[in-house]
Amino acid sequence: MSRPPYLLVAALLAFFVVGCEDEFTPPAASNAAGASAATAAPSASASAKAIAEIVREFDEADFVESDDNRDPFRSFEGMFLRRVTGTKTVQRKVKAGSFTLEELRLTAIVGRSVRRLMLTDPSGFGWVLYTGDYVGKPEFVGVGGNGGQEIPLNWRVDRIRKNDVVFIREDASHPEIPPTTRVVPLYPAGEGDNETSQG
């Protein structure tokens, strides 16, 4: 029994398709790949040699700041600040800072809950103060001899009592000196009743 010719043709085609599935590398291409691998090897060794040449030894002079060797973390903020000399600034909050303590008059003492007092300045404005508040025009005292810094000394409310207020003035730079104390009565009998004492 003879087979149809189209089956024979289909079998031959299938044989050729299966036999041609393996890739064929031409000799020229394989030679090119070998040549590229050969050129890659010398370039890798050349880069390793270049890195070895870049590595450098450092000594102490390399870390000293100069015009040629600037510290990258140095701040230049101080170059843009305007320095003001010859002025005296008070860093603390002071009430009635334009008047001396002698110019202020004690007009009221409130003893309920938190004790407080009222001082009236020559313009008639009333200043409410609590224990620990600074008051009055500061007196500047020199520190460090000639040309030294001057620090402000203000009166501070030390105690608020029923009929008078105790003010103290102390120099924080000289804690060995006892503070100056002034007692201001609510109802003064006369100008001589305001006494100043040390201790």
pLDDT by 10-residue block (mean), the chain, 199 residues: 65 65 53 51 68 74 78 75 53 86 92 88 93 90 65 89 92 81 84 42
164, 186 Cβ separation under 8 angstroms: yes
Size (the chain), residues? 199
The domain ranges of the chain are 94-198
164, 185 Cβ separation under 8 angstroms: yes
Q: What are 107's two structure tokens?
A: 């007009």
pLDDT of residue 126: 93
| Domain spanning 94-198: CATH 2.30.30.830 | yes
pLDDT of residue 120: 93
Q: What are 80's two structure tokens?
A: 């843009």
* CB-CB neighbours of 133 under 10 Å: 19
pLDDT of residue 73: 79
pLDDT of residue 195: 43
Question: pTM for the full model?
Answer: 0.47
Return the beta strands (E) in 39-125 as ranges.
94-95, 105-110, 116-120
Q: What is the spatial distance between Cα 36 and Cα 41, in angstroms, rounded to a whole number?
A: 9
120: helix, strand or coil: strand
pLDDT of residue 197: 39
Q: Tell me which residue of 153, 198, 160 sits closest to 180, measured CA to CA.
A: 198
pLDDT of residue 193: 44
Q: What is the spatial distance between Cα 142 and Cα 150, in angstroms, rounded to a whole number?
A: 4
Q: What is the spatial distance between Cα 194 and Cα 105, in angstroms, rounded to a whole number?
A: 12
Q: Tell me which residue of 151, 92, 104, 148 sits closest to 128, measured CA to CA.
A: 104
- Can you list the alpha helix ranges (DSSP code H) found in the chain? 5-19, 27-54
pLDDT of residue 82: 59
